[in-house]
Amino acid sequence: TTLLLPSSLARMAGSENGSNSARSKADCANCKANHYGVASNMPPSVPIRRVDLIDIESLGSGPTAFCRCYKSKTFPLCDGAHNAHNAETGDNAGPVVIKPMPDADVNREFLSETTQEEKLRLPPGSKRANNYGVVSTMPPDAPSRRVDMIDSALAVSRADAEGELRLCRCYKSAIFPLCDGSHQVHNRDTGDNTGPIVLKRGVGVDVANITKAANEPTPRSTPKSTSRSTPRSTLKPTSEPKKPAVLRTISMAEVATHNTPTDLWTVIHGKVYDLSDFVQSHPGGAAVLRMYAGKVADEGFDGVHTEEVIMQNLPAEKLVGLISAGEMQSGTAAAVTAPDIDLCLNLYDFEAVAKRVMKDSSFAYYATGATDEFTKQGNQAIFRRIKLVPTVMVDVSNVSLETTMLGARMSFPVYISGAAKGGLAHADGEVALARAAHTAGVVQMAPHMATRPLREIAAVRTIAQTQFLQLYVEKDRAATARTVREAEELGFKALFITVDSAGIGKRETDLRLTPGGSAPRSVASKRRWADDLSWADLPWLRSLTNLKLVLKGVQSGADAVRAYRAGVDGIVVSNHGGRNLDTARPALEALVEVMDALKREGYVPSQPDGTPGSARATSGTSNRLGCLRKCLGRPVGRASFEVFVDGGVYRGSDVYKALALGARAVGVGRAVLWGLAGYGQQGAERVLEMLYNELHTTMMFMGKRSLAEVDETSLSGVRDAMLANAWSATRENLTSISSSEQPDTHR
């Protein structure tokens, strides 16, 4: 028996693409949400789920409680039905409440009713919420339920900044109580039909009308109790492909027999997939899939994808069965334990821990450079060739490291650079890095090739936090335009366009451990990324967005001047961490040339607090560049142009030297990934904390009270370092055909 909503209520919740159409009773005969009987309101052409679109302007000044037990007679509002539901089922559900919380800590957007002390009093094995594992936030002497409190002002601000605020009702979200899209995987796995509450301004239903609609006469019937073992076919709409009532259990021995390119099965998270028809079209290349033919692919999959990618690319019938829990457990290797984090005294220690705990091929993907790795080695070595010249007898009792980056305030001039595949280090990947950036008070540049979806990375951003997006331009320019629109909608503030990757470097350590390399050279991949990106694309990129544009990968003074004249908002002096073109100059050496060229052009950087410098207009610009400036709407002689650098930074003194040579801020990519690999979010936070403390100490010893006082006069040997060999003349610590070990940590 299906519980059907009144037509007025069924219409009130639009789909995620803006549709307000509801399924007919016939369509909804077997479409139940959260196994509790609330019908789907999605049209037949979209995945089955229940989504409620609410006008956030209608919330009013009092509290608004939204139901998450799916039993309320005023659904999607809460009427207290969770109390009876919990008593009957042993569940632990409760509402999400949006109300004014003027005394709320603005650094915490989503607050529970309980204090940390009360949470600690929860007895071991306390009841779960909604039977999906989210623990109660109520103290033991209160009714057991999960309640989440959200300050209404913060909710409105978040919805305005990102276009909408999504609240999870499947209890599976990694960013609960916010939605991260986990309901799609949950629905597929269980036959469920849940979806989020979506709060938007000026769109959706006025909450004042919900109770009125709920009081209209309506045919209601008591839903039968639906256990999670109910055959999936009874929970799916008749319009979808029919599937077996229960997925059969398959042995690993049977999976192992399907191990050829034309008959290829693999196991991901205990689920058996038939990938035979997908091998040649896999964007990562056929070699990667063949590597896991007839085997468990969790190690290769988790660092690069979430399960959502399976839903997007594979028909449902390609899920052919399940591996028994016992067999999966017996094949699980024991995890390598990281030492106590307090034993890590520097970034080299974090790298050593990462090498110890990571899968060899995953570590190689992060650590490898192109061919002989001279440029990767040189990025780090050049910092050691430049010497510091301290100033003594200066009052440094109050040293400030604060600065701005494209207008975003930062606690110190280091940002998390966009390094791909954060999931190879930790399951939370870029989401954990976003949280670490907030803790450290710095900007996160999210990578285009992130493991976690961009919406998840954006969802954990706090009100005061700023995120940028690193962007690869695709041959399909329409695909790039879609990514840019998504970045705008999700609240990213700038695009860092990678311009040094017309191809992929030959990374031999990576190639030895991963067939085809972790940065694949598959036909599908070559079709995707643009090798035809040129200066002529800049007006088109500017036409797509009002976000700030920064070119990442500039390595010469001439290109820096061209970017400056073209009207972009900044550049990153970078050689892609030495991963593309070996024997290219170290980034710090290129920075010296870049700043010299820009100064000749009349460029004067703004102050660390954002106060503009002075700059003269430049004459003699070519007609072509003049056209670019006109198209981009940016004048020449701008002090708003900013220069950043990344590559080889392991010490706070390295950051100081880069700033003294003209960089506005310094990007770190590998370093935070080492911390993430060993200790998750805490490790990334500790890496940033170390850099902050080391830079602060360097500033004190150098006699500098603020970043405005840091310049090249406090360095010695800069020009000599530019002329010296940037690297040793021999190949050091590289793998060979006789060795599959990783390169040792350079110290």
Residue 115 in 3-state DSSP? coil
**Residue 202 DSSP class:** T
List, in sequence order, every residue forming a beta bridge with 626; answer none if it has no partner: none
Q: Measuring CA to CA, which residue among 307, 276, 312, 277 is closest to residue 293?
A: 276
Of 366, 559, 576, 646, the catalytic one is 576
List, in sequence order, every residue forming a beta bridge with 249; answer none if it has no partner: 322
- List, in order, residues 6 or more apart from 88 with CB less than 8 Å away: none
Give ∠ CA 177-181-182 in degrees, rounded to 5. Answer: 80
692 is catalytic: no
Alpha carbons 366 and 419: distance in angstroms, whole number = 9
160 is catalytic: no
Cis peptide before 605 (omega within 30 of 0): no
298 is catalytic: no
Residue 119 host element (H or E): helix 116-120
**Ordered DSSP codes for 468-523:** EEEEPPBSSHHHHHHHHHHHHHHT--EEEEE-S-SS----HHHHHHSTT-SS---H
Give ∠ CA 691-580-386 in degrees, rounded to 5. Answer: 40
Of 472, 564, 650, 692, the catalytic one is 472
Residue 203 in 3-state DSSP? coil
Cis peptide before 453 (omega within 30 of 0): no
Residue corresponding to tokens 């033991």: 140
Residue 601 in tokens: 């052009």
Query: Is 16 in contact with 219 (CB distance < 8 Å)?
Result: no
Residue 79 in tokens: 């009427």
Alpha carbons 79 and 499: distance in angstroms, whole number = 55
Residue corresponding to tokens 């509450």: 197
Amino acid at 258: H
Alpha carbons 417 and 669: distance in angstroms, whole number = 5
Query: Residues in the chain, how many?
Result: 747
- List, in order, residues 6 or more apart from 548 with CB less than 8 Å away: 406, 493, 494, 495, 569, 570
Query: Is 75 in contact with 13 (CB distance < 8 Å)?
Result: no
Of 27, 52, 192, 500, the catalytic one is 500
Residue 642 in 3-state DSSP? strand
Cα distances (Å, whole numbers) of residue 591 to 156, 282, 306, 385, 560:
42, 39, 37, 15, 10
Cα distances (Å, whole numbers) of residue 198 to 18, 288, 614, 744:
11, 38, 47, 49
Residues tagged active-site: 472, 500, 576
